[in-house]
A = this chain, B = another copy of it.
Amino acid sequence: MEAMRVTYRMHVAPPEAEQRAEAIALEQTVEVPRVVVRDAFIEDEVMGRVERVEGDPAGGSLATIDYPVAATALDPCQLVNVIFGNSSLHDDVECVDVEFPASILAALRGPRFGLEGLRKELGVLGRPLTCTAVKPMGQSPKELADLFRTFARAGIDVIKDDHGLAEHPFCPFDERVRACLAAADQVADETGHRALYAPNLNGTPETIFRQLRFAEDAGARAVLVSPMLVGLPVFWELCQRRASIPVLAHPAFAGAQRIAPEVVFGRLFRLFGADAVIYVNFGSRFSYSRETCRTIADRLLEPMGGVLPSLPVPAGGILVEGVTEVLDFYGRDAMLLVGGNLQVEADALFERSRAFVEAVRGYA
């Protein structure tokens, strides 16, 4: 029987831990007391099985549970349900790791372009990449396109919408996309550098699938989506069934999960199809440690069956002045996202953007 292996940290003492792990194995599959399971097929092919329970040096206990692949129905929604559906309702249980067997990798498929596909699209092979965002929310399409033009002239590789840009009456999606793509064309004509624009898809499925089609038809070469805001199953359908261009994943609403960031960003987003994964960097206004960031980046890049690597995109308060430290940490296979910090001096937007680009391009 092929199994998906999930590890939970349980904030209970070892004496109770065995029993608690058994309870999780039931909760996540059959969701009935053990005595109710009277069928050999269900016992063997559906019910979770506790593989190991051990004390965690960090406190509490770690339980490793094998779930038969059949329980997941190889469906993106049911997969998340089996990993952490009802157990998310237990205050003292966290999901800290997941290992996917080959059948799940083959069914969910992961990135269509990934790190290498994005590099090819950008024509940038041997160095780290640069990224910023047009914002703040509240600006008109014209104002955002003006910002875009400045960032593009400075040579930034990828310019995305802020993840908060939605279908606002003061900045409708279609107008914004047209204006920013026109700005990209204009700068390409002037300088030869064509920045890749990733508009943000935000709304219900009806809305975002329409936005995707509009963006593709208008010539966009990537889009941005927040998987936890739109829903992981929507994200999967978007990547695997709808989009013909790369998809960048944004972390909004994702940190609220009592699933480790290493699992959400390092495993789930990649498996579901993100070609690039934005996550909050160490030393930022967010609280991720260096170790967490290292693990996320490693997991996005490491071999995973036939699944392509995703591009790691550290973000969240990186300063232009701090770029070299971040590059030292990640090396070449990363795209640095510097947002608001490029805009802190109203008159020095181009200069700060250019300094960011040069710091990255000049990185040995």
Most buried by B among A35, A139, A230, A341: A230
The residues of B that contact A344 with a CB separation of less than 8 Å are 33, 35-36
Q: Size class of A's contact patch?
A: 35 or more
In the complex, what distance in Å separates the CA atom of A230 from the CA atom of B230?
A: 9
The residues of B that contact A38 with a CB separation of less than 8 Å are 346
Beta-carbon contact of A84 and B230 below 8 Å: no
Residue A111 CB within 8 A of the other chain:
no
The residues of B that contact A339 with a CB separation of less than 8 Å are 31-32
Most buried by B among A23, A167, A253: A253
A24-53 residues at the B interface, CB under 8 angstroms: 27-33, 35-39, 41-42, 45-47
Nearest CB on B from A85, distance (A): 4
Residue A88 CB within 8 A of the other chain:
yes
Residue A6 CB within 8 A of the other chain:
no
Q: How many copies does the complex hold?
A: 2
Looking across the interface, which residue of chain B has its beta carbon closest to that of A288?
B89
Looking across the interface, which residue of chain B has its beta carbon closest to that of A37?
B136
The residues of B that contact A219 with a CB separation of less than 8 Å are none
Contact of A237 among B30, B85, B206 (CB under 8 A): B206
The residues of B that contact A29 with a CB separation of less than 8 Å are 136-138, 164
Looking across the interface, which residue of chain B has its beta carbon closest to that of A237?
B204
In the complex, what distance in Å separates the CA atom of A29 from the CA atom of B139?
A: 12
Most buried by B among A33, A230, A255: A255
Contact of A41 among B138, B230, B346 (CB under 8 A): B138
Contact of A204 among B33, B41, B76, B346 (CB under 8 A): B76
In the complex, what distance in Å separates the CA atom of A266 from the CA atom of B164?
A: 25
Beta-carbon contact of B86 and A233 below 8 Å: no
Beta-carbon contact of A136 and B30 below 8 Å: yes
Q: Could you say which of A55-63, A148-156, A279-287 contacts chain B?
A: A279-287
The residues of B that contact A164 with a CB separation of less than 8 Å are 28-31, 71, 78, 81-82, 85
Beta-carbon contact of B253 and A84 below 8 Å: yes
Beta-carbon contact of B88 and A255 below 8 Å: yes
Beta-carbon contact of A31 and B206 below 8 Å: no
Residue A234 CB within 8 A of the other chain:
yes
Known A-B contacts A33-B340, A86-B252, A164-B29; A226 and B81 likewise in contact (beta carbons under 8 Å): yes
The residues of B that contact A120 with a CB separation of less than 8 Å are none
Show 14 A/B contacts (Cβ-Cβ < 8 Å), sorted by A. Answer: A36-B343, A37-B136, A46-B137, A70-B169, A73-B166, A73-B168, A73-B202, A76-B203, A85-B229, A85-B253, A88-B253, A89-B316, A90-B255, A257-B257
Top 4 A-B pairs, shortest CB-CB distance: A231-B231, A89-B255, A42-B138, A30-B136
